[in-house]
Amino acid sequence: MLEKRRARSLIEVNESMIFIFQRRLTLTATVLSLIFFTPLIILSSPIWVPAGTVLFIAIAGFLSMSGFGVAVLAGMSWMYKYFRGWHPPGSDRVDYARTRIADTASHVKDYAREYGGYLHSKVKDAAPGA
Residues spanned by the domain of 21: 1-44
H-state helical runs in 1-130 = 2-84, 91-126
**What local confidence, expressed as pLDDT, does residue 103 receive?**
94
For 62-86, the pLDDT digits (tens) are 999 999 999 999 999 999 999 998 9
Does 67 reside within a domain? no
Does 117 reside within a domain? yes
Does 55 reside within a domain? no
CA-CA distances (angstroms) from residue 14 to 4, 20, 22?
15, 10, 12
Does 65 reside within a domain? no
For 2-16, the pLDDT digits (tens) are 677 777 888 888 899
Rounded Cα distance between 30 and 38, Å, is 12
For 90-119, the pLDDT digits (tens) are 999 999 999 999 999 999 888 888 776 666
Task: State whether 40 and 84 are in the same domain.
Answer: no
Does 123 reside within a domain? yes
**What local confidence, expressed as pLDDT, does residue 114 receive?**
79
Query: What's the total number of domains in the chain?
Result: 2
Does 112 reside within a domain? yes
Give the burial string for 28-64 (b: 16+ CB within 10 Å, else e). Answer: eeeeeeeeeeeeeeeeeeeeeeeeeeeeeeeeeeeee
Does 33 reside within a domain? yes
